[in-house]
Amino acid sequence: MRARPILFFSGGTALNEVASAFAAHGESAAYLMTPFDSGGSSAVLRRAFAMPAVGDIRSRLLALSGLDAPCVALLSSRLPQDETAARAALAALAEGRHPLWQAVVRPAFRHGVQSALRRLLPRLPDTMPRQGACVGNLLLAELYLRHGRSLRAATTLFARLVHARGIVHAVTGASAGLCASLASGATLCGQHLFTGKFFPPVSSPIRAMHLSRPVTASPAALSWIRRARLVCYPPGSFYSSILATLLPQGIREALAATHCPHVFVPNPLPDPELYGHTLADQLRILSRHAPLTHLLLDTATSRYAGPVPLDWLHSHHVRLIVCPLLQPDGRLSPALLADALGRVRL
């Protein structure tokens, strides 16, 4: 990638549609992801191999993939929920007998995935449940283990396999968990406990978030921060997807040293993690973790929580941009976002 990219700090799947559209139109973009997820298929692999979470990375790379639909479908597929059937399906995938292979016509892709799964099978602990496991996550785990437990190497090789049209890196290659401190005094350790996906949403506002142990930002993440022509904090889960990417040591300092726009695009859709938060609260919290130069809102400003804090924006020298950003269903329009970001200047 020769052009200086727009750099998105994001985890989860909220930005996948935008990432896919940016890739299809040749927009220069890079994505820094969180490896702290503690739910679903990623959590099972984390427990088995004491490794970072790979689900968000896999999801974003497949959104950027230049492969045909059958290849993407295979890596997005999940094993059956029945344990016996899941073990049989994984063996069939490794041996090339699974029905998902029938539509795959790329020999190099087929060979790479089957070889990796065959290498992984004997390394899987017998006590590790297979049901519901994502094939792409299993592949990333094998690459991680085979290449000296390097998340960067696993991500790079997976990106090459799927012909990713964009840059994806984890903010750190270390394994850690997310802990949220609530206004009630409770502390929830584990991302899955406060996102509202696996457990009921929080009923007390989140007041702070920290990692279960100190971790250092990856050199790749710091390098892309230095190269960015614009940094964007896009819609997504505010704490577990956006703020989580800013927690590794070195990220804040690298961001502070940049000389480019830093744009916050708040989530117009309900976010369970923002219980009890206004738009002003989000700005105050984010500005404690990263520089902010612009706030980008859709013309329907009533979609956001609370009034636009004009006094705060003025006192903190944050410029407000109001322009069309959303589709009729309230989701972000990739084309409108790209156009808006393209016009942001310091």
pLDDT tens-digit map of 108-145: 999 999 999 999 999 999 999 999 999 999 999 999 99
Full-model pTM: 0.95
| Contact (CB, 8 A) for 209 and 181 | yes
Burial class of residue 185, CB neighbours in 10 A (0-12, 13-18, 19+): exposed
- Average pLDDT of the segment spanning 296-307: 94
Q: What does pLDDT average to over the chain?
A: 95
* Cα-Cα end-to-end distance for the chain: 23
Those residues with Cβ within 8 angstroms of residue 175's Cβ, 6 or more apart along the chain or in another chain: 35, 46, 50, 51, 52
Vertex 188: Cα angle to 183 and 193 (nearest 5): 115
Confidence of residue 254 (pLDDT cuts 50, 70, 90): very high
Burial class of residue 21, CB neighbours in 10 A (0-12, 13-18, 19+): middle
pLDDT tens-digit map of 149-192: 999 999 999 999 999 999 999 999 999 999 999 999 999 999 99
Domain architecture of the chain: domains with CATH:
40-170 (no CATH), 178-342 (3.40.50.10680)
| Contact (CB, 8 A) for 163 and 67 | yes
State the chain's maximal CA–CA distance in angstroms. 64
pLDDT tens-digit map of 20-56: 999 998 889 999 999 999 988 889 999 999 999 999 9
Confidence of residue 291 (pLDDT cuts 50, 70, 90): very high
| Contact (CB, 8 A) for 185 and 208 | no
